[in-house]
Structure 1
Amino acid sequence: MTVLTMSRPEIDRVHVLKDLVAERITVREAAQLLRITRRQVFRLLKAYRDQGPAALISKKRGKPSNRSYPPVLRSEALALIKANYADFGPTLAAEKLSERHGLHLGVETVRRWMITDGIWQDRRQRLKPVHQPRYRRECVGELVQIDGSEHWWFEDRGPQCTLIVFIDDATSRLMYLRFVETESTFDYFHAARTYLEQYGKPVAFYSDKHATFRVNKVGATQGDGMTQFGRALHQLNIDIICANAPQAKGRVERANGTLQDRLVKEMRLEGISTMEAANAFLPAFIEDYNRRFAKAPFSDRDLHRPLNEHDDLDDVFAWKEERTVTYNLTLQYDKVMFILEPNEITRPLARQRVTVYDYPDGRFEIKHKGICLPYRIYDKLRQVDQAAIVENKRLGPILAYVAERQKELDMKRSQKAPRRQGQGKSIFKVG
């Protein structure tokens, strides 16, 4: 018994020709059903009577198309894709084959070749990633998940803002909450410092890939690869771990969802519409939340480490950047020129590296090997009329006025002085 593989149009032709042989339909009707000419019907009928249904099977089946590309060209294209464009999509790979190698291929042709060769998967073959649950950490302070949740926390009563959330992985206990205008390094400085002063140093913080926690610039080669926040934690011997996906830090993500429901409604009932009032309300809310939702840890050990005398939090949570001192004992920081006061310490520092300390409260210090250097700010807007004509007996009052004016300008922070997001009000200090 011979089994024939036929397409649906070929099977339909067999049925029509059977009816034609049995004289149930005419040649004209057969031509209309098959949508071919009478001459073609007679040709198919003769082949069917001589060879049977096998005569209706296409002779091109199993043979390469006359319009197909040569096998050598296909092998060359796939070799180039594997060597140079293995992670490219078919569209981009086809563009690069044309631009750089002179192989002008259709996108669908490249897609089909890549799928057949296993380099690319179509959408039906791609499976969604599976995020299986993991066990909690065993001890309090072993891992603290941190995140910022931007939301309309005050609904239509106030502006959109961000809630910084610290949650313990072992217990799902809210450790710290604070409303801020937006996520910034100085806001996380303030949050981390408050946390450390209250609980001590945890083993690690677990965050997303926000620029505060991770250098995201591709190809960054300068610096030590740490952000300001990462440098501060490294100085305190605290690890920072960045999650690849939101599902990896699911505890804080689920807590954000709960807070966006419960906290919003609680503040609505209390009539809270400002960040100041909301931050004052948070301690009571945290206590009630933890009483309802916190879990008991697997172990009674608390892995928080106390702060010691070497942990200078003022120094740790300052924005630090290195600058090179010029031969004129000047340096630039955030579009502002600082002039070092000449003395026995600063004079040898020409072409040496110094560190600018920008504190969250607005203070500045310039240090070299831990020694604070005296400085002043050069203000280009401050000018004295060099051509003013003053009578000799009025020279004293004029000089007194100029000196007082210079003192005011030195002690008051210039509008051009550096300001960073999240810093408090300026407490500018010279030297």
Structure 2
Amino acid sequence: MPQIAPEAEFRAVYEAWSAGRLTRADAATKLDMCERTFSRYVSRFRENGSQWWQDRAGHRVSRRRASDEELATLIGLYASQYPGWAVRHFYDRYRREHGGSRSYTWVKDALQRAGLVERRARDAASKRRRKERTPIGRKPREGMLVHQVASRREWVAGHRCDLIVTVDDASNRVCSGFLVAARGIWSVLGGIRETLDQGLFDSLHLHMALPSRLSPEETVFGGHTKSQLERVMKELGIEVCYSDPALRTRPMRVIGSLQRRLPRELAAAAIVEVDLANRYLSRYWTRFNHSFGRLPTDASSAFVPLTVRNREKLRDVLCLKHEIGVHNGHQVLCEGKPLDVAEQVRQQLHASENYRIHEYENGDCALFNGRCRVMAMKKADHRLALP
């Protein structure tokens, strides 16, 4: 038996219902619709006849259909200003910068039909691995776990540098991000300092390779990177773990998104200096978090706001600390090495006391005796004696 066309099927059911051979419920069931929809179809069919059914079937051109000019403008915009951009990245710019109103699917299909974007077919093995992957649950609240990761590449044209990014686990939101010439203890502490603007957090996952010893560019006193970092975390009351394989996936996905997007964003903004790029990043993270952030399971936050007094003490926590002592009444030792100090500093030292030097990121230092700050020290006031 030949298949009945939709209009003919509706007309046959309508005539049977009009003749009383079918109830309204039976007629709606035969057409796979509810009774209210069947009643609306009947009233419109009585008013307009077959013309209404043809319009409903899609023979009428949609009022939302894009014109040829709009389609040509979209294709020209992508080809001239954003060649090679991912569709999702281009779509964000299309909506934000150019006032576009079309959906993501419409934009993607238009670019694919024009041959500007390739159609990617995921193979069966990739789909199977994706289904078999066991995702690690996120923390329910912001501030419970923070990831810090670094990536070295040519982020700015002509400048190969490190991008230090600090990401919250629960919301996938970037709390801090900046470019430095080379990663080190000060870049790690800088990311922690910017994250602490929101408050103290519970734990830090540090996913980056750091030198075992502090470099001469970082400090003149030497020392071990890990011991200094763990001392800072202990004073802040924050747990720290290093490159946990179970936690690496999430921050690496954020870095992957930034590697695809950020160099193109900086190039589109005509930025060729690292300092200008850092100024741009301070505004860029809001847009990035809007695109890639998510709502945590628990709306409450685990960040504990710092008091004014704690903020004042933060500078003497996020620094390098070196124990010094006076040997034989006159020789000053730091980390077991002789230390030459200015005469005005030497006058403040006594053999029976324990002293500590706080070294700050700008190179200045301060001399402490316990909790008491004895005096400030400039770079010229000290240097390690050569053995």
TM-score, normalised with respect to structure 1: 0.50
Partners of 2:166 and 2:275 in 1: CA distance: 19
Partners of 2:172 and 2:302 in 1: CA distance: 16
- Partner letter of residue 320 of structure 1? K
Partners of 2:144 and 2:182 in 1: CA distance: 27
SS in structure 2 of the partner of residue 273 of structure 1: coil
Question: Are 1:356 and 2:357 matched, yes or no?
Answer: yes
Offset of residue 206 of structure 1:
1.0
SS in structure 2 of the partner of residue 142 of structure 1: coil
The structure-2 alpha-carbon separation of the partners of 1:321 and 1:344, relative to structure 1 and needing over 3 Å to count, comes to closer
Question: Are 1:366 and 2:367 matched, yes or no?
Answer: yes
String of CA shifts for 1:277-304, please: whole Å, max 9, x gaps: 1111112221111111111110101000
The structure-2 alpha-carbon separation of the partners of 1:226 and 1:342, relative to structure 1 and needing over 3 Å to count, comes to closer
Match of 1:269 in 2: 268
Q: Give the alignment of 1:181-192 within 5 angstroms.
A: 181-192=181-192
The structure-2 alpha-carbon separation of the partners of 1:365 and 1:358, relative to structure 1 and needing over 3 Å to count, comes to same
Match of 2:115 in 1: none
Match of 1:105 in 2: none
Match of 1:244 in 2: 244
Whether the 8 Å contact between 1:346 and 1:373 is mirrored in structure 2 is: no
Match of 1:146 in 2: 148
Partners of 1:279 and 1:343 in 2: CA distance: 41
SS in structure 1 of the partner of residue 135 of structure 2: coil
SS in structure 2 of the partner of residue 321 of structure 1: strand
The structure-2 alpha-carbon separation of the partners of 1:364 and 1:412, relative to structure 1 and needing over 3 Å to count, comes to closer
Match of 1:346 in 2: 349
The structure-2 alpha-carbon separation of the partners of 1:210 and 1:374, relative to structure 1 and needing over 3 Å to count, comes to same
- Partner letter of residue 288 of structure 2? Y
Partners of 1:180 and 1:342 in 2: CA distance: 33
Match of 1:257 in 2: 256
Partners of 2:163 and 2:360 in 1: CA distance: 22
Whether the 8 Å contact between 1:214 and 1:227 is mirrored in structure 2 is: no
The structure-2 alpha-carbon separation of the partners of 1:162 and 1:345, relative to structure 1 and needing over 3 Å to count, comes to closer
Offset of residue 324 of structure 1:
2.4
Match of 2:108 in 1: none
Match of 2:195 in 1: 195
Whether the 8 Å contact between 2:327 and 2:333 is mirrored in structure 1 is: no
- Partner letter of residue 295 of structure 2? A
Whether the 8 Å contact between 1:340 and 1:373 is mirrored in structure 2 is: no
Partners of 1:205 and 1:228 in 2: CA distance: 15
Whether the 8 Å contact between 1:212 and 1:229 is mirrored in structure 2 is: no
Match of 1:175 in 2: 175
Offset of residue 329 of structure 1:
3.3
- Partner letter of residue 231 of structure 2? R
Offset of residue 342 of structure 1:
8.4
Question: Are 1:297 and 2:296 matched, yes or no?
Answer: yes
Match of 1:135 in 2: 137
Whether the 8 Å contact between 1:331 and 1:339 is mirrored in structure 2 is: no
Match of 1:80 in 2: none
Offset of residue 158 of structure 1:
2.1
String of CA shifts for 1:374-422, please: whole Å, max 9, x gaps: 598xxxxxxxxxxxxxxxxxxxxxxxxxxxxxxxxxx7738x847xxxx
Whether the 8 Å contact between 1:209 and 1:244 is mirrored in structure 2 is: no
The structure-2 alpha-carbon separation of the partners of 1:296 and 1:327, relative to structure 1 and needing over 3 Å to count, comes to same
Partners of 1:170 and 1:141 in 2: CA distance: 8
Partners of 1:214 and 1:208 in 2: CA distance: 17
The structure-2 alpha-carbon separation of the partners of 1:344 and 1:159, relative to structure 1 and needing over 3 Å to count, comes to closer
String of CA shifts for 1:84-125, please: whole Å, max 9, x gaps: xxxxxxxxxxxxxxxxxxxxxxxxxxxxxxxxxxxxxxxxxx
Match of 1:337 in 2: 340
- Partner letter of residue 277 of structure 1? L
Q: Which has the larger radius of gyration?
A: 1
Partners of 2:367 and 2:275 in 1: CA distance: 33
Question: Are 1:318 and 2:319 matched, yes or no?
Answer: yes
Match of 1:207 in 2: 206
TM-score, normalised with respect to structure 2: 0.55
SS in structure 2 of the partner of residue 149 of structure 1: strand
Partners of 2:179 and 2:143 in 1: CA distance: 23
Partners of 2:274 and 2:349 in 1: CA distance: 44
Structure 1 unaligned regions, length at least 5:
1-129, 216-222, 377-410, 419-431
Whether the 8 Å contact between 1:320 and 1:358 is mirrored in structure 2 is: yes
Offset of residue 200 of structure 1:
0.7
The structure-2 alpha-carbon separation of the partners of 1:265 and 1:335, relative to structure 1 and needing over 3 Å to count, comes to farther
Whether the 8 Å contact between 1:163 and 1:180 is mirrored in structure 2 is: yes
- Larger strand percent: 2
Match of 1:413 in 2: 380
Q: Give the alignment of 1:21-170 within 5 angstroms.
A: 132-154=134-156, 157-170=157-170
- Partner letter of residue 189 of structure 1? L
The structure-2 alpha-carbon separation of the partners of 1:213 and 1:207, relative to structure 1 and needing over 3 Å to count, comes to farther
String of CA shifts for 1:308-358, please: whole Å, max 9, x gaps: 3245111101111112212343424487512565899633x25x5421211
String of CA shifts for 1:226-267, please: whole Å, max 9, x gaps: 52122112101111122333x632111111111011001111
Partners of 1:304 and 1:191 in 2: CA distance: 15
Identity %: 22
Whether the 8 Å contact between 1:140 and 1:303 is mirrored in structure 2 is: yes
Partners of 2:173 and 2:345 in 1: CA distance: 54
Structure 2 unaligned regions, length at least 5:
1-131, 215-222
Partners of 2:349 and 2:338 in 1: CA distance: 22
Match of 2:228 in 1: 228
The size of the alignment, in residue pairs, is 241
Root-mean-square deviation (CA), in Å? 3.2
Match of 1:101 in 2: none
